[in-house]
Chain A
Amino acid sequence: MPEEVLVEVSNLSKKFCKDLKKSLWYGVKDVVGGTFGKAPSLELRKDEFWALKNINFTLKRGECLGLIGHNGAGKSTLLRILNGLLKPDAGSVTMRGKVGALIELGAGFNPILTGRENIFNNGAVLGFSKQEIDDKLEEIIDFAEIREFIEMPVRNYSSGMRVRLGFAIAAQLEPDILIIDEVLAVGDASFRAKSFNRMVDLSSKTAMIFVTHSMPQAGRICTRGILMKKGLVMKDDEIGNVIQDYLVTQKTRFSNFVGLYKLENFSCSLNKQEINYGEDLSVSLKFKMPPEINKFLIHYSVYDQELRSIYQAFSILTEEVYINKNEIFDINFVIKNLDLINGKYTLNIGFIENDLRGRNICRYDAIEEFVVINAEVNSFSSILKKTVWHNKRILG
């Protein structure tokens, strides 16, 4: 049944109140009103705002929807409504099948009790029967890799162990609809990989809704994306396009200066702000070095929106060391053949005294930014490497 629609959201809206005192008072009114069957009004009362407004989408089995947006865009509110924790103020949500939610791991854990006892507590909260937990107990302990400490109070677990145990229990759910809110950002690398694989396994059998700020994760697992902003759906499209939109609208340029000396009359400019895939980027620097510095080299690095360093180079590696004779420097360097996917990138410039082992004179973070366009493939590593293929055809 590949065409089975499991999640239907239509005209969903939800309002929140900014002011605590008013919020509590509206709460009393809604409790009393609700008891007598009154639906909440569609008007905003004083200090209220729409946390979600007119959300529409459907999701089929086998699809994985990535909810993407800045903090406060309404992603978590939407998840909580889908999970039945909050009531919509307008519109409706229909969920077909068993819903599993990985919003919080280890709900119901009591720190004084042992890991084994808490498996039963958390299992019961997630809706397992005693029989089901008994059957799955060994599998859970093994998946969490925690056998040695299973009789120890959970209080003495490391945070990673707690998360592992929580995930191992939740991973036993066999839902039709799976709701996931950034729970995979914890734990060590090997467990992250393991839990990620478990989710990929599940994703083919379920309709999955996934909130994350990690675009590589979203790109790997999601088939579709929804970009949210201030409670509105800005875009509902194939995941790659949604990620592009998100990254370009996101402010990732946070200029900063660190160092011992500030350079006089420092300026930095690019030949273009918008560059085609594969083109060269030319950077011009103008500055005056303080007289205390005799000899220095220049370093640059390029960052993507995930704040990962993509490119870097040191002038000394191409035998360029600058001698300070108290004059104004006018330096130009060219980054050859930008093999970056579409998106926004920032440039850091640094100065180091003498040689690579010298002290840092100063560094200008995010001094410039540029946008790459016209890359043909936009996968989720930032580099689309130019590669030479040597193919031999063997004729049969």
Chain B
Amino acid sequence: MQVRTYTSKNTISFLNLIGDIFKDVYGSFYLAKQLAVRDIKASYRQSILGILWMFVNPITTALVWIFLNNSGTVKITDTGMPYPVFAFTGTLLWSLIIEAINTPAQSTRSGMGMMSKVNFPKEALIISGLFKMIFDTLAKIALLIIFLVMYEIHFTWYLILVPFVMLGSIFFGIVIGLFITPFSLLYSDISRFISLGLRFLMYATPVVYAIPKEESFIRTAMLLNPFTPLLQTMRELVTGQELTMLPYFIGVLAVSLLISLAGLFFYRISIPIIIERS
């Protein structure tokens, strides 16, 4: 018979908790899937364009930059590929990362009512957020392929790796989000501050323009920025170029994989404290 003990102490041991987390993550897959399907269905059922809305955002952002570039309003240094493809891939992955960072807090906030009444594995909320993002990504990949065909980019086998880079980026974003979530649920300042910060960070990331060739502050910032290798690697795979930032890219993924456990641990400990105050 299953025995649960609740005490003021957080864990019997760290290892036990990690074990519990794994058990719950695994056990909550069906619930997570159900929640993701529910939200996806619900968000498009009351709309005529339905799923087409998923494409609207990345297309419009890319269009703005294509227009600015073609009209000569901004002068952008050579990017090594047709600018529309550059801008499109950049905004696509960037929007994915931003969304991933916000996903844990958003899923948790929307599940708050449920969490304060029903005991279910909280990890399901995070995983359902991940599922929803993967669904979004599929549509974006389709869009990317259309774009590549339009601009006659030569297809290489590297292209197969692109979805994995996207997945890795989502994972990285969600791990960051896990650490922010408890605080942003307590104070609304946090999420405002994060979205403000990310808006500035975009200019220190090669989203709509390439890394400057000559030494400058912005070049140093871009090279240090952990989001840069994600974007850079994805673009290089798309156009079949040499992978210039591969070690840093692998490093970012490895670190996020490592701290993801700490993130889940942190999330699990903070949820009861947050429920109590919601």
Contacts and interface: CB of A to CB of B under 8 A. Distances in A.
Same assembly = yes
A174 interface: no
Interface of B: 1-11, 30-31, 34-35, 38-39, 41-42, 45-46, 113-120, 182-183, 186-187, 265-266, 269-270, 272-277
Contacts of A216: none
B275 A85 contact: yes
Given A35-B265, A81-B6, A127 B120 contact: yes
Contact of A34 (B116, B118, B270): B270
B272 A87 contact: yes
Interface of B is mostly: helix
Contacts of B7: 88, 91-93
A35 B266 contact: yes
Interface core residue of B38, B114, B274 (most chain A CB under 10 Å) = B38
A108 B38 contact: yes
A54 B9 CA distance: 17
Nearest to B275: A85
A101 B182 CA distance: 26
Given A39-B9, A92-B6, A86 B34 contact: no
Given A108-B35, A112-B45, A113-B38, A94 B3 contact: yes
A129 interface: yes
A87 B186 contact: no
5 contacts: A34-B10, A35-B269, A85-B275, A88-B7, A96-B2
A129 B30 CA distance: 7
Interface stretch (A118-126, A313-321, A338-346): A118-126
Contact of B1 (A85, A96, A120): A96
Given A31-B273, A84-B119, A101-B118, A93 B30 contact: no
Given A27-B277, A108-B38, A121-B34, A83 B119 contact: yes
A176 interface: yes
A95 interface: yes
Contacts of A379: none
Contacts of B42: 110, 112-113
The 7 closest A-B pairs by CB, nearest first: A104-B117, A124-B34, A31-B270, A92-B7, A124-B31, A93-B6, A34-B269
